[in-house]
Amino acid sequence: MVKQTVGVIGATGYAGAELVRLLAQHPAVEIVKIGVRSTTTEDYLSQIYPGLSCKLPALTSLESSFSQCQYVFLALPHGISMGYVPRLLAEGCRVIDLGADFRFPNPSIYADTYEMEHQAPELLAQAVYGLPEYFREQIGQTDVVGNPGCYPTAILLGIKPLLDKDLIEKKGIIVDAKSGATGAGRGLSQDRLFTELNDNFRAYKVVGHRHGNEICFYAGKELEITFSPHLLPLQRGILATSYLTLSPGVGVEEVARAYQAAYSKEPFVQVHSQGVLPELRWVVGSNNCQIGYAYDPKIRRLIVVSVIDNLIKGAAGQAIQNFNIMAGLPETMGLPQLAPVV
């Protein structure tokens, strides 16, 4: 099999390291370059993550050329990737950004969400939002993919089929979502110390979380959503519970049909029958999203639960899924499809 030459920029964070771990086992990938920010003093990624003891290239500066790479993955904080993507494209690379810089087609939406001006607004029109279940054809044709955020991935997969069919009301949507601590990144912070997280559970940024804009934009409707994220005392995983109201005249059997139409052929999305609600352990370690729902007919309330591994389907795994599409490879290649049983 001919291997695609790949570079990774920003491999020292949790998502970047997970990306390297998965790419190193991908049968159609050769990692030829790993770029890191100047603050890193180690020569090899295995010095930071000893579990990544496979044969990998030495760490190099982000300023060096990546022209030997057919594809480059960026796993950097928002506001940084956009400074490198124009150069990477000029060097002939196709780019998959795990950060936020290429998720919106409009620079004004980016500026409103991330409170900074976009440095490469001319590239936003060609960038494609990397949610394969909805943008597969466009992903295959572009040179720039903006990988979705982890919360939006779980939430959009859970509610978008219902919105697309006008089965639920646009107002009064409440999304209560919980994430493992890796979703906050690897940077040092007092509120992520073990003694702050262990035996604890808290909400944060319940008003104005940046992922709220992303969810509303790609849900495809003018919505009123209350999005409340919470931090779990776990390493990884997202469980999102969406509280929805069925539109007048809509029955719960139409919900089942909408999910069937949307996901029956999707390799990484599984929808359970009514009343079966998925758990984090069913997906952690896999690239899957599992969805379940329950219905209270007294108040026409539909409760949708969707779960993902935030580092795989919510970040590195979805990025590789996008890469597979761009490279014309089987979409499931190199990606875990089963979670550990215990």
Which one of the listed residues 54, 69, 93, 150 is annotated catalytic? 150
342 Cβ contact partners less than 8 Å away, ≥ 6 residues apart: none
- What single-letter amino acid sits at 315? A
pLDDT score of 188: 57
pLDDT along the chain (342 residues), means of 10: 94 93 97 84 85 88 93 95 96 97 95 92 96 98 97 97 96 94 68 68 77 89 88 92 96 97 98 98 98 95 98 98 98 96 84
- Cα–Cα distance for residue pair 105/280, rounded to 1 Å: 32
- What single-letter amino acid sits at 113? T
- DSSP E strands in 257-328: the ranges are 269-271, 289-296, 301-308
The secondary structure of residue 81, as a DSSP letter, is: G
- Cα–Cα distance for residue pair 117/102, rounded to 1 Å: 13
150 carries an active-site annotation: yes
Instruction: Name the residue among 39, 76, 36, 75 with its Cα closest to residue 56.
Output: 36
pLDDT score of 212: 83
Which residue carries 């899924």 as its tokens? Answer: 321
- The CATH number for 4-147+313-326, chosen from 3.40.50.720, 3.40.190.10, 3.40.50.11540, 3.40.47.10, is 3.40.50.720
- The CATH number for 150-310, chosen from 3.40.640.10, 3.10.105.10, 2.30.38.10, 3.30.360.10, is 3.30.360.10
pLDDT score of 267: 98
pLDDT score of 173: 95
Residue 300 gets the label, from left (phi > 0), alpha (psi -120 to 50) or beta, of left
Question: Helices 14-24 and 317-326 meet at what angle, rounded to 10?
Answer: 50
Model confidence, pTM: 0.95
Instruction: Please give the radius of gyration of the chain, using alpha carbons only, rounded to the nearest integer.
Output: 20
Q: Give the pair of three-digit tokens for residue 135.
A: 């943008």
Strand pairing category for 289-296 and 301-308: antiparallel
- CATH 3.40.50.720: which residues of the chain? 4-147+313-326
Q: How far is the CA of 152 from the CAs of 15, 49, 130, 208, in angstroms?
A: 16, 28, 11, 14
- CATH 3.30.360.10: which residues of the chain? 150-310
Strand pairing category for 202-203 and 269-271: unpaired
